[in-house]
Amino acid sequence: MIIELKDISKAVNGRPVLKEINWHIGSEDTWLLTGAAGSGKTLLLRIVLGLEKADSGSVNLLGDYKYASVNAGVVFQEDRLCGQFSAVENVAMVNERLSEMVAEEELGKFLREEELYVPVSSLDPVTRRIVVIIRACIIPSDVLLMDEPFRGMEEGLRSRMISYIRDKAGHKGIVFAQRGGEGLEFCRRFDLGG
């Protein structure tokens, strides 16, 4: 599967943000989508996901692809967790074939036992971010799109999370949207500038 972005342009409040963007995301690709704040990284991911419409251009799904839109595991800038549910419940709910036992096993690679079954609203921001990343990785999907996934993480944890993501992705494409590329030197770069 290839996601083809062809001549994508988008203005926000009359200000051009994305201008004739052409980009291919293949199933074996790992990309760092980079650029300054306000350069359109989040906006471009939202267009790929079909959450925003481009003013011009198109997003095409090439190859033998069975869905009408991109089937992605997503990390948004905001956590989008169900605050009253536990980490285990938040992860298990996105995959009907996944048991809470498997969710607990995956989360247990990073969380302490006492963090697994308390409401995620009581967890610190970095721990919630870990839950979001694990949830995105276990959703049956064709690509992982991650917008500033490592916010607040120290280098050692970030490195462990990157290894986890790469392992879980297998042959899926991955896009990390980040201002900085620390720990992501192995990625191909797509720079929006700004």
pLDDT (tens digit, 9 = 90+) per residue, 109-119? Answer: 999 999 999 99
Q: Does residue 140 belong to any structural domain of this protein?
A: yes
Q: What residue numbers bound the domain in which 167 lies?
A: 2-182
Q: Does residue 187 belong to any structural domain of this protein?
A: no
∠ CA 154-148-160 to the nearest 5 degrees? 40
* Terminal-residue alpha carbon distance, the chain: 30
Angle (deg, nearest 10), helices 125-138 and 155-169 = 10
Query: Would strands 143-147 and 173-177 be described as parallel, antiparallel, or unpaired?
Result: parallel
Q: Does residue 191 belong to any structural domain of this protein?
A: no
Q: Does residue 188 belong to any structural domain of this protein?
A: no
pLDDT of 66 over the 90 cut: no
Share of the chain above pLDDT 90, in %: 82
Q: Which amino acid is at 162?
A: I
Q: Does residue 117 belong to any structural domain of this protein?
A: yes
Question: Confidence band (pLDDT; 50, 70, 90) for 32?
Answer: very high
pLDDT tens sequence across 117-171 = 999 999 999 999 999 999 999 988 999 999 999 999 999 999 999 999 999 999 8
Give how many domains the chain has, as a whole number: 1
Q: Does residue 13 belong to any structural domain of this protein?
A: yes
Q: Which residue has the higher pLDDT, 181 or 86?
A: 86
Q: Does residue 190 belong to any structural domain of this protein?
A: no
CB of 56 closer than 8 Å to CB of 18: no
- Give the distance between the most distant pair of CA atoms in the chain: 50
What is the number of other CB atoms lying within 10 angstroms of the CB of residue 67?
11
In the chain, what are the helix, strand and coil shares in percent, each to the nearest 5?
30, 30, 40
C-alpha separations of 87 from 41, 83, 92, 102, 123 in Å? 28, 9, 9, 12, 9
Q: Does residue 192 belong to any structural domain of this protein?
A: no
Task: Tell me the C-alpha distance between 53 and 9, whole Å.
Answer: 10
C-alpha separations of 60 from 66, 70, 136, 158, 191 in Å? 13, 9, 22, 32, 21
Question: Confidence band (pLDDT; 50, 70, 90) for 194?
Answer: low
pLDDT of 52 over the 80 cut: yes
Q: Which amino acid is at 86?
A: S
Q: Determine the pLDDT at residue 168.
A: 95
Q: Specify the CATH number for the domain of residue 118.
A: 3.40.50.300
Question: Confidence band (pLDDT; 50, 70, 90) for 45?
Answer: very high
pLDDT tens sequence across 67-85 = 778 889 999 999 999 999 9
**Average of pLDDT values for 45-50?**
96
Handedness of CA 128, 103, 139, 22 (dihedral sign): positive
